[in-house]
Structure 1
Amino acid sequence: MTTTTTTTRKSCIAKCESVKEKGGGGIRCTGGAKEEAAAATTTNNNSQSSPNPAPKPTTNQDLLAMLDSFRYTGGGGGITSTRAEGTSSKPSPNPNPCTPKTIKRKSPPSGVGVIVDGPDEEKGKKKRKSKEAKLKEEEEVVATNNRKRKKTEMNEKEEEEDKERKKRSRPRSAMTAKEKYMDCYKRVETGNTWEPPVSPYGLLQECHYTDPWRVLIICMLLNITSGVQVNRVLDEIFALCPNAEAATNVRQEDLASLIKPLGLSDLRSKRMMKLSRQYLENDWTHVTQLHGVGKYAADAYAIFCVGKPDQVVPEDHKLVDYWKFVCKMRN
């Protein structure tokens, strides 16, 4: 029993000395632990010198009480023995075991604990900046492309509108020399038996196709005028001058008074009388040679009088409707 206790004490003393040599607030033996260590050393020396040393009675409970007296302390970080003479070796219990002990930490000195960007983080920042710059460049490229596309679309629309304006502004009488002398515009022969079909559109020329002069006069009156307005005065005009010969013999003032509700009565009455005089002459071969006959009147003449609607392409919306109707009927 004495040999075992001596060995255990030796191991404890050796551990204490090894920690003490390392420094930094290691193990400090104070009080009863230091005295027991010294007694253990003396006993060991006596046992080696005398053959029958007088062992000091020591139990395992004393050794365990000595080991239990060591505890961790907060400030220095080392292990110290707090057992003093005449005190108990058991640690004082925590007054409130539910709440853990809080350790106050001192604020780190300047420069300690500050996070400094390393090379990897700097590279990451550079990559992020480069990505943001690329995204901005892509957005700018997309925006410029959209602006260019809108400009091109605007230009295309403007060009189309200009073409339409030119078509509208172009007078209907503007025809090329080749167009004016087409076969469909030739003077109607005496043996022509063409009868245009009656359409649901109710054009004024449909009722007067037997007299080409009347068809031309109706087209002249419809210039910048609606069919409803012309229809109101048409019966009176044809009652005053039922044919081209009668139109050349009436007074211009009387004809102008009938045309006055349509506007431009003086100009239209003069054109009507001049057209009637040329129509009675036999020196013209194509209707386009007559005074005041443009594309609209020539196309109407070819459709209603000559009977060749497939050789013309009219532009007036009312005449276009009838022209499509006739082409379907013939096909």
Structure 2
Amino acid sequence: MAEVLTRTVVEPTDRLRRLRRTEGLRALVRETRLAPEDLIYPLFVRPGQNFQEPIPSMPGQFRFTVDRLDAEIEEVVRLGIRAVLLFGLAARKDPEAREAYEEAGVVPQAIRRIKAIAPELVVITDVCVCAYTDHGHCGIVRDGEVDNDATLPVLSRMALAHAAAGADLVAPSAMMDGQVRAIREALDGAGFSHVGIMAYSAKFASAFYGPFREAADSAPRFGDRRSYQMDPPNAREALREIERDIAQGADIVMVKPALAYLDVIRRARERFDHPIAAYNVSGEYSMVKAAAQLGWLDEARAVMEILTAIKRAGADLIITYFAKEVARWLRG
């Protein structure tokens, strides 16, 4: 005997698909939205003249000399991106990172150039010495160890040089204990109380930084950075780091990397009211680019899904090398 098929009637209140039927309906009830003003675009600036040098491990990214920044900044502004994050490369490296705080250094030059082109663009500067030391560590080395307290005055001088050039925010990333307090006191004491601090509060010792270290020529020459960057398994410790940075004067706190630490972003969002930035780092960028080049991923869909997840986890701001592409996609 033929099997009798019966039709199950779905209750009207169970029809969640109604609002997924068309793109218009999906957009109408979308809970998490990305916008160009959520994005911060990182830029690498290098000494010299008339260079726009491709970064092999980061397709689509470049090291710029200051005189080649104009077109890039004009495009960033045209796309509706409100902020850039500057990383500098050194012409001369030494154990004390002296070039990091030169008033005529490449980052102060870039700040002045950008402010001349786009005064309203928010300029954030990375404050760390790894690209300026000949050993590649994020602090001053004494007797084979990174000396936390000897590094704080250097970071403070670096932040002051950037503030004097016109930076809106300085972003200490060295993961030295007390770096936010030292920089806040230095800025206030020099008349730069209006300059904010975006602290790399929960910065983990991650495998996803590899392409960046090529881009900034900042790989350590010995050992690694696990004695000062955070151990990846620790989430509660990340909250302690964030709490201390807020107490020391941070205006914005950061979780880095973003994609492998969405749980940390969520915990931070639930506990703190401060603005939270998340860094979609170089390795996260490059692995998507590589998979897309091989035809294994739809790049635009993958990127939008990743950045939406970062924002959905609780990030207010996303630092990403995809910023320009995402701004274009959002504009349609």
Higher Cα Rg: structure 1 or 2?
1
Q: Same fold (TM over 0.5)?
A: no
TM-score by length of 1: 0.24
Which of the two has greater strand per residue? 2
Q: Which has the higher helix share?
A: 1
TM-score in terms of structure 2 length: 0.24
Higher relative contact order (CA 8 A, sep 6+): 2
